[in-house]
Structure 1
Amino acid sequence: MTSPPTTNVPPNAASNMTLASYRFPSHRLRRQQQESDRIPLVLVACGSFSPITFLHMRMFEMANDFARMNTNFEVVGGYLSPVSDAYKKAGLAPSIHRVRMCELAAEETSNWLMVDPWEAIQPEYSPTAAVLDHFEHEINGVRGGILSADGESRRPVKIMLLAGADLISTMSSPGVWAEKDLDHILGSFGAMIVERSGTDMEDALANLSPWEENIYVIQQMIQNDGMYNSPSNLHDISHADYDGVVSSTKIRLLLKRDLSITYLIPSPVIEYITEHRLYVDEDTKSKEKQPISK
């Protein structure tokens, strides 16, 4: 991961870090609990983020609300962990760009989210279990957890994976994830899963019953009605296959068709994409999609 080809990037920015200069980002990680009767929790979202969207950001807010209103957790931090370039996937922009876009989104639109480039700067693909182990080490091993609400002791922080329902579907599919990784992720850490239209959550969760107590399903209170998914709308052919679900894939499709992505992703990210002409010619710039183990 080389230096980002842009100006005005702070020297200590996540997108400037290398394996040699890496420092765990903790500038927004709470130092002390506010509620003594709750378990401190850090949420970690792993993904391509090519590019990051408002839905990615919104997942953290939904999880924070869910934890506050439905569990005994107290969210003390949230991290975006972009995948390494070693993850061969169509439409994957270089990690230096993806980290910077996540950084712009977090710094400009949130007051508590952070970007950890550790996974992105690895020369090889890091399994999700290894990424969560990294956060466990940095937060509980190196930092000794978090100061209790009364300030008299330190408490271990619960690290938990935050993901969309599509991930839980792959976890429940035989042969996609190694059993030991599933047990480590869902058994040792747990997951908060944001439901998504079209995903059969009951079926997916049925295959993950050994870890059901560590899986929290967050219902989306606001559902998109798929306003563009109407084959009868012949005057809007350019949007005919846009089903209303805001995803990175759909964003790249709109960009490829030279259509507006305003209000779908953060403005600083749009400016960055324009500046560096990302996703303009995905057919020639994207990497060949290759299956890899989780």
Structure 2
Amino acid sequence: MEDAEKTEVVLLACGSFNPITNMHLRLFELARDHMNGTGRYQVVKGIISPVSDAYRKKGLVAARHRVAMAELATQSSQWVTVDAWESLQKRWTETAQVLRHHQEKLQASHQEDQLDSPVLERPGRKRKWAEERQDLSPKKALEPPRKGAPRVKLLCGADLLESFGVPRLWKSEDIALIVGHYGLVCVTRAGSDAQKFIYDSEVLWQHRHNIHLVNEWVTNDISSTRIRQALRRGQSIRYLVPDPVRDYIAQHGLYSHESEELNAGLTLAPLERNAAPS
């Protein structure tokens, strides 16, 4: 298939990135190889979107640090970038809404390219988009995808896929929107049975053709939780995170016994928002 006939894809990874690890970066490479290898897609960009402080996860350090570390981790990448929009929101933003934000931004940019090409962007165009496109209310109808505009897909590990089954963590309509309208690229790990999880879920099974499972043949079990644990114990994390991230953590004294107690006793934002009314 000619490149012009392939669907351009932007991989979006949402999460805490507390801190970002080499495994987070590896997910992008694995997913790009898989999607490009299908012959139907061409991955053109990767976006890391750290969650805001309003997520209230235990041990979550300030978003400004998590964004800074992600930017350091991707400074040598030619295609993976960091977007701070989600991290700057005062309230926690559902993943479906983050996907929507980036899809609409991509579509607006594509439209501008169609209107202005090959002339440079006119001043004020991006500002106008920001003013007119920030209504992410669920009541506002989704825009149909514009022909030729890249399609954003959620990139995740098997743990996020399995979290769809955690009561109150996700709205059923959001799961349907994520897998049905946008699509999921899931990198599986050893010990997980993503195929069975999809089979056991009615909504995932219904949209199974829009879920792309990527096998990780060279297994890597690095996790942010283990990184923080090693730091609290004074152990080395070299080769587990990019060197600039390791230096940043040391410079700012991040991840101590005290920081691990941040948000202790607070209810996770999605669990609170999705709680059944009394």
What TM bracket, shorter-length normalisation? 0.7 to 0.9
SS in 2 for 1:293: helix
Q: Does 1:194 align with 2:170?
A: no
TM-score, structure 2 normalization = 0.80
Change (3 A) 1:125 1:99: same
- Distance apart, 1:184 and its partner CA: 1.1
Given the alignment, which residue of 174, 182, 185 partners 2:175? Answer: 182
Given the alignment, which residue of 44, 51, 54 partners 1:76? Answer: 44
SS in 1 for 2:61: coil
Q: CA RMSD in A?
A: 2.1
Mean Cα deviation higher: 64-73 or 38-47: 64-73
Q: Aligned residues: percent identity?
A: 37
Question: What amino acid maps onto 1:81 in structure 2?
Answer: S
1:148-159 aligned within 5 A: 155-159=148-152
Query: 1-side partners of 2:190 and 2:88: how far apart?
Result: 33
Given the alignment, which residue of 98, 120, 123 partners 1:131? Answer: 98
| Residue-by-residue CA offset, 1:200-252 (whole Å, 9 max, x unaligned) | 2122111110110110000001125xxxxxxxxxxxxxxxxxxxx20000000
Mean Cα deviation higher: 156-165 or 168-177: 168-177
Q: In structure 1, what is the equivalent of residue 130 of structure 2?
A: none
SS in 2 for 1:41: strand
Given the alignment, which residue of 154, 168, 180 partners 2:161? Answer: 168
Contact 1:145 1:156 in 2 (8 A): no
Query: 2-side partners of 1:258 and 1:145: how far apart?
Result: 51
Question: What amino acid maps onto 1:255 in structure 2?
Answer: L
SS in 2 for 1:56: helix
1:92-241 aligned within 5 A: 92-108=60-76, 110-144=77-111, 155-173=148-166, 175-206=168-199, 207=201, 208-224=204-220
Query: 2-side partners of 1:171 and 1:285: how far apart?
Result: 26
Question: What amino acid maps onto 1:190 in structure 2?
Answer: G
Structure 1, unaligned runs of 5 or more: 1-33, 225-244
Per chain length, whose mean CA-contact separation is higher, i.e. which structure has more relative contact order (CA < 8 Å, sep 6+)? 2
Q: In structure 2, what is the equivalent of residue 272 of structure 1?
A: 248
SS in 2 for 1:159: strand
Q: Which structure has greater helix proportion?
A: 2
Aligned residues: 236
Given the alignment, which residue of 209, 226, 230 partners 1:250? Answer: 226
Query: 2-side partners of 1:157 and 1:79: how far apart?
Result: 13
Query: 1-side partners of 2:8 and 2:113: how far apart?
Result: 8
Q: In structure 1, what is the equivalent of residue 235 of structure 2?
A: 259
Change (3 A) 1:144 1:176: same
SS in 1 for 2:4: coil
